[in-house]
């Protein structure tokens, strides 16, 4: 039985698993080829730690880099969410794991609204 996300090391493992090989993903890879991983991975650990442990460790502006990505479509967000859910479910189960997946869906929805990809009332 998988256990819940309990420690910062668990968050690091989740982040490493999610981004490991993402540059080779056929749909998402092109968005991640120029990423400075030494900077991005600690940012994402802070982001997800803030979410699941409610630490406030992340004080960034999560939307800004996405506004610069050219060619982002709804299918990319569907793919991103699918990858995230599978990454979580393969390793963790519990309230924090559920919180991480719920927050990912929520943020993906907000990003898509901001990008004009998703409007209330459309399917
Ligand atoms: C199609 C979906 C997505 C793509 C292609 C994408 C791609 C990216 C890229 C390229 C960066 C910048 C990395 C860098 O160069 O430093 C980034 C940053 C980030 N992304 Fe995403 N992302 C997606 C969805 C999401 C979602 C759903 C979330 C939240 C649950 C998220 C959270 C973040 C955060 C927190 C940052 C760091 C912002 C900062 O600099 O503080 N992303 N993303």
Report domain extents, the chain: 8-114
- Report whether CATH 1.10.490.10 matches the domain 8-114: yes
User: Do 77 and 106 contact (CB within 8 A), yes or no?
Assistant: no
Cα gap 13→62, rounded to integer Å: 21
pLDDT digits (tens, 9 = 90+) for 54-90: 999 899 999 999 999 999 999 999 999 999 999 999 9
**9 is written with which tokens?**
């090391």
pLDDT band (50, 70, 90) for residue 122: low
Q: Is 5 exposed, middle or buried (0-12, 13-18, 19+ CB in 10 A)?
A: buried
Q: Identify which of 76, 71, 97 has the alpha carbon closest to the alpha carbon of residue 17.
A: 97
Report the nearest atom of ligand 1 relative to the CA of 104.
30
| Ligand 1 pocket by Cβ (under 6 Å) | 28, 31-32, 35-36, 39-40, 43, 47, 60-62, 65-66, 69, 72, 76-77, 80, 104, 107-108, 111
Give yes or no for residue 12 having a pLDDT over 70. yes
């Amino acid at each position: 039985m998988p256990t819940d996300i309990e420690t910062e090391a668990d968050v690091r493992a989740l982040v490493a698993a999610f981004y490991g090989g993402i540059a080779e993903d056929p749909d998402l890879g092109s968005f991640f080829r120029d990423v400075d991983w030494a900077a991005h991975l600690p940012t994402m650990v802070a982001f997800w730690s803030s979410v699941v442990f409610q630490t406030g460790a992340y004080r960034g502006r999560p939307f800004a880099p996405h506004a610069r990505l050219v060619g982002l479509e709804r299918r990319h967000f569907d793919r991103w969410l699918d990858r995230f859910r599978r990454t979580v479910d393969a390793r963790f189960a519990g309230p924090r794991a559920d919180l991480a997946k719920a927050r990912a869906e929520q943020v993906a929805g907000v990003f898509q609204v901001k990008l004009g990809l998703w409007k209330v009332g459309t399917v």
